[in-house]
Amino acid sequence: MVTATSSRSCLAAIAAASALTASASPASTTWASALACAPISAAVSAPPAIAKNDSIAILPIANNTETPQAGQRAASIAQSLLASYGYTNLSRYPASADDETLFDAAKPDAQQNALNWARQQNARYALTGAVNEWRYKVGVDGEPAVGLTFDVIDVQTGKVVWTGTGSRTGWSRDAVSGVAQKLERDLLSPLAR
């Protein structure tokens, strides 16, 4: 398992900011580094050997937040990112109007039904996961915060072959969706190879 407290681009930005302010006082170096990027915490496992033409089903992403449709939003971003990484055979589980509401009762068979759907589509892999945070923090600044977990499942065996989890916060001027896109890009980047 690989663990990172910051994305590579974030580390590069901090290094560049530190180099520019090396002769300045320690306080200004810290300030420049803090402005370089938003905090991120992530852990991902080694990626499986997924071919760009392997069939991947995007299954529902559980919404463990109070934000309506956060799981659907995260799935949409993930599908777009996978397509941008060159995956050509993506299919998305059909959403219904009652899939995700703010106070939806637990649906214990939902994940198994989605996996069965992926099998019917002859998918080789399935991407699923959970949204654990998708909100603006309470306070004067109202900073966006996102927490996600992704799993890639071998559809035939039902076993998880890759997992990634992380959280990221943004600045008060950032949108939650923008922070989510950055986090998902960081988490799914091992699959981009």
As given in the structure block, the two tokens for residue 15 are 């290094």
Do 138 and 48 fall into the same domain? Answer: yes
Do 3 and 73 fall into the same domain? Answer: no
Do 19 and 47 fall into the same domain? Answer: no
- Does 38 score more than 70 pLDDT? no
Structural domains of the chain, count = 2
Do 114 and 19 fall into the same domain? Answer: no
pTM of the model as a whole: 0.77
pLDDT band at 43 (very low <50, low <70, confident <90, very high): confident
- Which three-class secondary structure string do you get for 57-124? EEEEEEECCCCCCHHHHHHHHHHHHHHHCCCCCEEECCCCCCCCCCCCCCCCCHHHHHHHHHHHCCCC
Do 33 and 78 fall into the same domain? Answer: no
Do 28 and 44 fall into the same domain? Answer: no
Do 21 and 82 fall into the same domain? Answer: no
Do 81 and 105 fall into the same domain? Answer: yes
Domain with 24, as residue range(s), is 1-37
Do 107 and 178 fall into the same domain? Answer: yes
Do 33 and 57 fall into the same domain? Answer: no
pLDDT per position as a tens digit, 156-191: 999 999 999 999 999 989 999 999 999 999 999 999
As given in the structure block, the two tokens for residue 45 are 């496992």
CATH number at residue 130: 3.40.50.10610
Average of per-residue pLDDT values in the chain: 80
